[in-house]
Amino acid sequence: MRKFLIAGNWKMNGGEQFTFDLLSVIKNQKPAISEDIDVLVCPSFVSLSIAIDQLHKSDVLVGAQNIHEAEKGAYTGEISASMLVEAGCSYVLLGHSERRAYYHEDDALVHKKLQTALRNELAPVVCVGELLDERKENRHFEVVKAQTLATFEGLTYEQAVQVVVAYEPVWAIGTGETASPEQAQEMHAFIRSILAEQFGDAANAIRIIYGGSMKPANAQELLSQPDVDGGLIGGASLDAKSFVSIIEIAESLTNSVREIDSPTTLEED
């Protein structure tokens, strides 16, 4: 079974004090997390160490929001994958639409970063998703297909199953507008079909999570879709009550609706 991943993308919000306070409330409201789901928070670089210290004995994982594609060197202001691993991070967000739009990250650069993350055993969460105009012009499948193929190009099966895809329709990010559960499922199944062409049945082991105004009010419907394996949550992850409530919704769904091939079954093929 693919484990749900519930991930908070804090973006450029919250310094150390905010991080400490928010995580204290989350830990207090949710002292234990089911083994059937993964929970991740991605604070800013300067708040990572406080988050890692605070979550040391908890089940909540910590990730970063970006890396540089090089292992090290003269790149003033940048952060490497190995620095993050040494700090205690286990995941990194890559190719978020805000980075693609404001920092000109294209598919080729995102792919280089992905390879660097994998080399350093940092699990990449790679964001893909179409702009509003692209959906209006009915080009959303084409756009997401190109991003997905570029992400997974040349990866082995062992590498591919480390990658999490986050489908984030750009028109739904921070807008309060969410993809309908049907739109999300349609795109997630489409992404999985592209992965199946490259990796066969192994595509069933790759997690595809949804992002774009996920909140407690819509999480149940979105997470009930068979190909939606979790959420990448921006705004609602900055509020302990909302984030905890999405975690609880995911926990409540793990036993009921998720009857999915496990990687163990796949390896036997």
Region of 51-59, 130-138, 185-193, 212-220 interacting with ligand PGA (CB under 6 A): 212-220
Query: N- to C-terminal Cα distance for the chain?
Result: 16
Binding ligand PGA (rule: CB under 6 A), the pick from 107, 168, 227, 229 is 168
Span 182-211, contacts to ligand PGA by CB under 6 A: 211
Q: Which residue from 110, 126, 163, 173 is in contact with ligand PGA, where contact means CB under 6 A?
A: 173
**Residue 212 sits in the site that holds ligand PGA (CB under 6 A):** yes
Cβ proximity to ligand PGA, 169 vs 202, nearer residue? 169
Which one among 44, 65, 204, 213 touches ligand PGA, defined by CB under 6 A?
213
Query: Is 92 an interacting residue with respect to ligand PGA (CB under 6 A)?
Result: no
Catalytic residue check, 168 = yes
Question: Residue from 214, 228, 249, 250 that binds ligand PGA (CB under 6 A)?
Answer: 214
Residues in region 3-62 near ligand PGA by CB under 6 A: 9
The pairs formed by 14-23 with CB atoms below 8 angstroms and a separation of 24 or more are 14/43, 14/44, 14/47, 14/238, 15/44, 15/46, 15/47, 16/46, 16/47, 16/50, 18/47, 19/43, 19/47, 19/50, 19/51, 19/54, 20/50, 20/54, 22/238, 22/240, 23/51, 23/54, 23/55, 23/60
Shortest distance in whole angstroms from residue 179 CB to ligand PGA: 11
242 scored as a contact of ligand PGA (CB under 6 A): no
Are 245 and 216 in contact by the 8 Å Cβ rule? The answer is yes
DSSP per residue, 149-206: HHHHTT--HHHHTT-EEEE--GGGTTSS----HHHHHHHHHHHHHHHHHHHGGGGGGS
Catalytic, out of 69, 98, 168, 248: 168
Give whichever of 122 and 127 is closer to ligand PGA, judged by the CB atom: 127
Confirm whether 140 is a catalytic residue: no
DSSP 45: G
Binding site for ligand PGA (CB under 6 A): 9, 168, 173-174, 211-214, 232-236
